């Protein structure tokens, strides 16, 4: 039986810092990312792909706001914007991955699933927004924007600017995960849990409703990977490895982290809440639940021996 891998793409893997966000840019990034997936497929893995949407959903919100101000187009809430992003990113990934497969004379069905994820409406995250979305701003731009709305902005840990932050509640349950597993184990490629999933809660018994939030895609992907019994969980980011003392003269790359050490580093504040901390937490949860390894790395090192940082049980 083929092994099953869950591969979580960051939204920044498809729309990189400094890019405008044109469809040509994102399609080129998606094509390059898809080329790297071949390394896993050639190692006999079935695939479930998940993806972030931080840059994209922020841009969708900006377009919504502009449409409302200029033309009176009804503004859409954040959960609907997440659904928008799932649709267009899923389409883009599916198309570019199919282009790569055709070039290699390989054939697979690729299925994008619009995915809802249950959250707790009383999650403390709603009072402490941490999830960055949208473009980077200068401090002066943020000061001007803050006068126009009650949005919250925080400075990027890597000094790239300021970004809007929103609530990021913990994922509790992923809908349709049994179907996702079944389709993937049959040899088809599944794209699911886009942007961490569309956040929803029970407004009352037997009545689901969306809520303004963006779920961390790594935590949602970890939950999915655990429940569908994945053999490997890959978290892709824009740096090759996890670092201690990141972005300082004392920074040190880590090839392997035992989960006990990972928890200690988290307590020490080694990893930023808006960047690496959720990835480490997601990796730890997967390893604890399954006993199998999680790997954090950049797209180009996907499937490379000893590539990235491996998080292990012991």
- CB neighbours of 169 closer than 8 A, spacing ≥ 6? 119, 120, 123, 125, 126, 199, 211, 213, 215
Helix (H) or strand (E) holding 257: strand 256-258
Distance from the Cα of residue 91 to its chain's centroid = 16
Torsion sign across C-alpha atoms 213, 217, 218, 224: positive
Give the largest Cα separation in the chain, rounded: 58
| Distance between CA atoms of residues 220 and 117, nearest Å | 8
| Distance between CA atoms of residues 313 and 311, nearest Å | 7
Burial of 228 (0-12, 13-18, 19+ CB in 10 A): buried
List active site positions: 11-12, 131, 217, 279
User: Are 132 and 144 within 8 A, CB to CB?
Assistant: no
| Distance between CA atoms of residues 127 and 282, nearest Å | 22
| Distance between CA atoms of residues 104 and 37, nearest Å | 12
DSSP codes of every residue in 57-68: HHHHHHHHHHHH
DSSP codes of every residue in 234-284: EEEESSSSEEESTTSTT-EEESEEEHHHHHHHHHTT-S-TTTHHHHHHHHH
| Distance between CA atoms of residues 82 and 58, nearest Å | 9
């Amino acid at each position: 039986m083929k092994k099953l891998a869950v591969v979580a793409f960051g939204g920044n893997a498809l729309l990189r810092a400094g890019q405008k966000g044109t469809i040509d840019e994102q399609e080129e990034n998606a094509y390059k990312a898809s080329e790297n997936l071949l390394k896993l497929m050639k190692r006999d893995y079935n695939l479930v792909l998940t993806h972030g949407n931080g840059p994209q959903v922020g841009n969708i919100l900006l377009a919504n706001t502009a449409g409302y101000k200029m033309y009176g187009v009804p503004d859409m809430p954040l959960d609907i914007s997440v659904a928008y992003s799932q649709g267009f990113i899923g389409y883009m990934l599916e198309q570019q991955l199919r282009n790569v497969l055709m070039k290699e004379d390989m054939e697979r069905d690729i299925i994008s699933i619009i995915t809802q994820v249950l959250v707790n409406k009383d999650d403390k995250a709603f009072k402490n927004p941490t999830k960055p979305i949208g473009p980077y701003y200068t401090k002066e731009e943020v000061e001007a924007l803050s006068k126009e709305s009650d949005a919250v902005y925080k400075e990027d840990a890597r000094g790239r600017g300021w970004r809007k932050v929103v609530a990021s509640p913990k994922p509790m349950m992923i809908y349709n995960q049994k179907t996702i597993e079944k389709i993937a184990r049959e040899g088809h490629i599944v794209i699911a849990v886009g942007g961490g999933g569309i956040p929803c809660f029970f407004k009352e018994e037997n009545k689901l409703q969306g809520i303004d939030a963006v779920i961390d895609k790594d935590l949602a992907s970890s939950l999915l990977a655990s429940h569908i019994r994945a053999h490997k969980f890959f978290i892709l980011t824009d740096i090759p490895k996890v670092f201690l003392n990141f972005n300082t003269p004392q920074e040190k790359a880590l090839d392997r982290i035992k989960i006990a050490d990972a928890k200690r580093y988290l307590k020490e504040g080694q990893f930023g809440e808006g960047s690496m901390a959720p990835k480490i937490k997601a990796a730890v949860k997967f390893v604890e639940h399954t006993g199998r390894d999680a790997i954090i790395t950049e797209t180009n090192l996907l499937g490379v021996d000893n590539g990235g940082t491996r998080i292990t049980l012991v």
